[in-house]
Amino acid sequence: MGGPAMKILIVDDDFTSRVVLQEILSPHGEYHMAVNGQEAIEAFMLAWHEGLRYDLICLDIKMPDVDGQVVLKGIRSMEESEGILPGNGVKIIMTTALSDKENVLTSFKELCDAYMVKPINKSKLLGYLQEFGLIEADRT
């Protein structure tokens, strides 16, 4: 296929959710895990400063301390401060048990790229990655 492997950050405080996402995404790139919002921000900033930016972040909303909405807002404001236009930054998919209208609307207002309610549907997730141009469409 060529090109560097996709860099993925999986952010979830739930072990099972992390494993599910890891199993779906590991064939498509190199992934890191964060178990809470604070770790997610640190991982994002570390990669950013090393010039090894993430291509995809799967972000849970309901986490202790710093929730996913705060992480999303922080990442987008950091990108904006660097002159990265909306739509050109890291692809962020909210992966959450929360399906209420308020969280969905807030996520899109803060410029998430997609919103998935758990349990995560593998083909839908991979469909988003194809839509974002992160993986090639299956030719089977």
Predicted local confidence at residue 139, as pLDDT? 55
Q: What is the distance between the alpha carbons of residues 93 and 90, in angstroms, rounded to a whole number?
A: 10
Predicted local confidence at residue 3, as pLDDT? 54
pLDDT-based confidence at residue 135 (cuts at 50, 70, 90): very high
User: Which two three-digit tokens encode residue 37?
Assistant: 């919002």
Residue 70 has pLDDT above 70, yes or no: yes
Residue 39 has pLDDT above 60, yes or no: yes
Cβ proximity of 81 and 45 under 8 Å: no
Write down the mean pLDDT value for the chain.
Answer: 94
Q: Spell out the domains of the chain, with CATH numbers in brackets.
A: 6-130 (3.40.50.2300)
Task: Write the burial class of residue 4 (CB in 10 Å: 0-12 exposed, 13-18 middle, 19+ buried).
Answer: exposed
Residue 48 has pLDDT above 50, yes or no: yes
Q: What is the pLDDT of residues 111-130, one digit of tens each?
A: 999 999 999 999 999 999 99
Cβ proximity of 89 and 79 under 8 Å: yes
Predicted local confidence at residue 4, as pLDDT? 65
Length of the chain: 140
